[in-house]
Amino acid sequence: MSEMIIEPIEKYGLTITADGKNKPLFSKIGVVGAGKEGRNIINMASTAGMEVVFLDESPERNDFVLGEIEKIMDQKISNWGLTQSEKKVIMNRITQTLEYEDFAGCDMVIECTRYTESGRRSTPLRKNIFKKLEEILDADAIIATNGSTVIISELAADLEHKERCVSLYFPVAHPDARILEIVSGMYTSEEVYSKMEIFARLINYKAHRINESNGNVSLRMLATMLNEACQMLLERVCSMEDIEETFTIIYGQRYGIFRMADIIGIERLVTLMEAMFNDFGAKHYKPNPLLWKLYRSNQLGVRTGKGFFIYDENGNPLSPNKSLYN
């Protein structure tokens, strides 16, 4: 048998040509900053078949990120949710980089710079990233940020194509919470919003349209209830466990409100609630003293192993954090 002939396929297209490929939307996306949320986005997009380029600060950090993403997939494999060969295919779609130039050709880049220990993100840094992205990307590529605070109009303001900016919030409460809050800012165009709806569908999320407002919808509702729950705890109306059960049993939630706060992160909630208090002025947004207590003592929830509850190394709650009452 003669050897196999191998050649490129492009010249056999009827309407497809090598340079003018009919590229479907979101075939390649970028992620700047691969903290926990960035990695989650990389994982979902690559699983949905997209090529993903991510950028972080150093080669070591990038390798760590890839390792963490592999861990997410191995976890899925051990839960019988993925096969080894699927993992290989998905991992093949992920590329690491240290250079913004490698985002060229992306349909969308999501800025996911990490939060500092105090739960804040640097606005000048994010503005700078947006500018750098605009230099590299095609004029119709979307520049998105991941977050729940009012920011997108501010980040977009200095760009030439302001209409391409949009903000996304992926609720982190639990893996089945597949609602994507898509935030339109002052400048966001209708076209960009509809494209984001398609993106949501591709990663198997339902899109909710939000007009830029601090805390979006999911966190704003949570914040006020959390404040009320903390207040009841302070007033010794009932035990923490009973407040949790009110949530899980009476209202059918998967987790109680305190556990939810620990999952989201106390630092995130405190800073967000402060921002909401500044924006809206209503007292019920002001973080409850209990939240401040946790925040100042660096007991920030699941991530630090202590929050309203005490957690083991796998993030499973062991007991309520009794030191709160002292």
Partner 1 sequence: MKILVLNCGSSSIKYKLFKMESKEVIAQGGIEKIGMKGSFLKLALPDGQKVMLEGEILEHRAGIEYILGVMLSEKYGCIKSLDEIDAVGHRVVHGGERFNSSVLITDEVIEMLNDCIELAPLHNPPNLKGIYAIQELMPETPQVSVFDTAFHQTMPDYAYTYGIPYALYEKYGIRRYGFHGTSHRYVSKRVCDFLGVPYEEQRIITAHIGNGGSVTAIKNGKSIDTSMGMTPVEGLIMGTRSGDLDPGVISYIMEKEHMGTKGITTLLNKFSGVLGISGISSDMREIQAGIVNGNNRAILAMSTYNYRIKKYVGSYAAALGGVDILVFTGGVGENQAVTRSDVCKNMEFMGIELDEELNNSVRAKEVVISKPSSKVKVVIIPTDEELTIARDTLDILQGK
> Minimum distance between the CB of residue 83 and partner 1, rounded to whole angstroms?
5
> Minimum distance between the CB of residue 40 and partner 1, rounded to whole angstroms?
17
Which of 17, 75, 83, 211: binder of partner 1 (CB under 8 A)?
83
15 binds partner 1 (CB under 8 A): yes
Which residues in 134-193 contact partner 1 (CB under 8 A)? 176
Phi-psi region of 129 (alpha: psi -120 to 50; beta: other; left: phi over 0): alpha
CA-CA distance, 63 to 17, in Å (whole number)? 36
CA-CA distance, 112 to 38, in Å (whole number)? 6
> Minimum distance between the CB of residue 252 and partner 1, rounded to whole angstroms?
18
Which residues in 283-302 contact partner 1 (CB under 8 A)? none
What does each C-alpha distance from 128 to 63, 102, 134, 135, 248 come to in angstroms?
25, 17, 10, 11, 43
Which residues in 33-52 contact partner 1 (CB under 8 A)? 49
Which of 19, 20, 22, 314: binder of partner 1 (CB under 8 A)?
22
* Structure tokens given for 211: 């007009």
- Using CB under 8 A as the criterion, what x/- string covers residues 184-213 for binding partner 1? ------------------------------
* Structure tokens given for 280: 């809206």
> Minimum distance between the CB of residue 232 and partner 1, rounded to whole angstroms?
32
Question: Which residue's entry shows tokens 């924006």?
Answer: 279
For 308, residues 6+ apart whose C-beta sits below 8 A from its C-beta are 240, 258, 259, 261, 262, 294, 301, 320, 321, 324
Closest CA to 290 of 310, 270, 274: 270
Cβ 166 vs Cβ 193: under 8 Å: yes
Which of 17, 92, 123, 128: binder of partner 1 (CB under 8 A)?
92
- Using CB under 8 A as the criterion, what x/- string covers residues 246-275 for binding partner 1? ------------------------------
> Minimum distance between the CB of residue 12 and partner 1, rounded to whole angstroms?
4
Nearer to partner 1, 5 or 139 (CB): 5
* Structure tokens given for 323: 């030191």
89 binds partner 1 (CB under 8 A): yes
Q: First vs last Cα of the chain: how many Å apart?
A: 82
CA-CA distance, 186 to 213, in Å (whole number)? 11
| Phi, psi at 181, each rounded to 5° | -85, 110
Nearer to partner 1, 9 or 139 (CB): 9
Which of 66, 82, 172, 186: binder of partner 1 (CB under 8 A)?
82
Residues that bind partner 1 (CB under 8 A): 1-2, 4-10, 12-16, 21-24, 27, 49, 79-83, 89, 92-93, 176
